[in-house]
Amino acid sequence: MPTIESLLNPSAFNLFSSKSLFNPSISSSSIFSPAPRLRRLSSSSSLSIRCSATQQMEAVVDSVSPEQFRVDVLSESLPFIQKFRGKTIVVKYGGAAMKSRSLQASVVNDLVLLSCVGLRPILVHGGGPEINNWLKRLNIEVVFRDGLRVTDAETMKIVSMVLVGDVNKNLVSLINKAGASAAGLCGVDGRLLTARPAPNAAQLGFVGEVARVDPTVLQALLDKGHIPAVSSVAADESGQMYNINADTVAGELAAALGAEKLILLTDVAGILEDRDDPKSLVKQIDIKGVKKMMEEGRIGGGMIPKVNCCVRSLAQGVRTASIIDGRLEHSLLLEIMTDNGAGTMIIG
């Protein structure tokens, strides 16, 4: 098992670099302060303060020894560790974070560190690009309707093979290699998920929804200190396999487990006030506010199902749901261990 010290080695874990510094506070102690304030800042003021903070933080880091830096980080992380220790965190993993080896390593190391300090993380994943690659190798046409994969019987076999047999086991291996103990499973294992056909199954084929969740097997794994890695494939009552959206699976698992936090890793900064302005990030919003944004058409495209997933999980008891920028290294730690996070946090 890796030590927290090794995981926080500043040469490998550059949380305070100019690329990853999110909290605009100047002092190192305020970076990890869990003060209950809103995370939202205007883009212009945030940028200028962040630049100043980055320069001052780099000066602070340069003035102390690596050993003292590690001790300071651990000491200042204590309030956040105390807040989340023993709490379940469900992370949906995909997008750029899955395609890039460096981002993949970042996510894995973040999960291991969170597990080391007492959190109970669960990783839920899809694997769209890998599925497409295999379908092309086998000369099977890739077809999408309304953003969902058309999944006939032959395609469903490939989906199961890739998600359960390839992507899942690779992630388990990476987590184990990083020093934790991971367990890979899909919805069929331990009857974790029971599927049902999607309403438009006649057009989409074996694309399903979550009909029921039995988290018993996950609870047992978490209680033993394992990190579960769940692929988004499940069967219905008759044993027919279905491909289910990974965001949906993550949200339903978070609700069934009474998770403290649901985190969706994406390829965007989060929810934007103006979809055409990447600097207009909304740091925190409630369900009422996000529904209003959807009604006004300010949230659209692929963000709609992600927001609906978050809203549904919050309505079922999850405390907070975040849509964060998976293109940032250590975005999970930024979201959990800092006030300003790494994207948009939706609250009930």
Is 187 within a domain? Answer: yes
- Sequence letter at residue 259: A
- pLDDT tops 90 at residue 302: no
Is 288 within a domain? Answer: no
How would you list the strands of the sheet with 182-186, edge to edge?
A: 182-186, 227-231, 120-125, 88-93, 261-266, 320-325, 343-347, 284-286
- pLDDT tops 80 at residue 95: no
Is 45 within a domain? Answer: no
pLDDT digits (tens, 9 = 90+) for 132-175: 999 999 999 888 887 778 999 999 999 999 999 999 999 999 99
DSSP secondary structure letter of residue 167: I
Look up the pTM and report it. 0.81
What's the CA angle centered on 26, arms 329 and 87, to 5 degrees? 50
Using CA atoms, how far residue 105 sits from 83, 177, 181, 337, in Å, is 25, 11, 16, 18
Domain count along the chain: 1
DSSP secondary structure letter of residue 21: -
What is the model's pLDDT at position 177? Answer: 96
- pLDDT tops 90 at residue 92: yes
- Radius of gyration over alpha carbons of the chain, in Å? 20
Give the mean pLDDT of 279-296: 93
Query: Angle, nearest 10°, between helix axes 303-315 and 287-295?
Result: 150
Using CA atoms, how far residue 276 sits from 191, 264, 271, 272, 300, in Å, is 43, 21, 11, 8, 12
Is 190 within a domain? Answer: yes
What is the model's pLDDT at position 119? Answer: 97
* C-alpha torsion 203→95→177→231, nearest 10: -20
Is 3 within a domain? Answer: no
- pLDDT tops 60 at residue 253: yes
What is the model's pLDDT at position 18? Answer: 33
pLDDT digits (tens, 9 = 90+) for 198-231: 998 889 999 999 999 999 999 999 999 999 999 9
- pLDDT tops 70 at residue 27: no
DSSP secondary structure letter of residue 20: T
CB 269 within 8 A of CB 281: yes
Is 6 within a domain? Answer: no
What is the model's pLDDT at position 57? Answer: 55
d(CA 78, CA 29): 11
Q: Which residue has the tokens 């002092």?
A: 27
- 280-301 b/e (C-beta count within 10 Å ≥ 16 → b): ebbbbbebeebeebbeeebbee
Nearest to 284 by CA among 39, 34, 2, 30: 39
Q: Which domain holds residue 232?
A: 70-259+325-334
Is 292 within a domain? Answer: no
Residue 265: strand, helix, or coil: strand
Residue 172: strand, helix, or coil: helix
pLDDT band for 34, please (50, 70, 90 cuts): very low
Give 336 or 33, the one with higher predicted confidence.
336
What is the model's pLDDT at position 86? Answer: 95
What is the model's pLDDT at position 12? Answer: 43
Domain of residue 167, CATH code: 3.40.1160.10
Tokens representing 9?
Answer: 């080695």
Mean pLDDT of the chain: 84
Is 35 within a domain? Answer: no
CB 164 within 8 A of CB 156: no
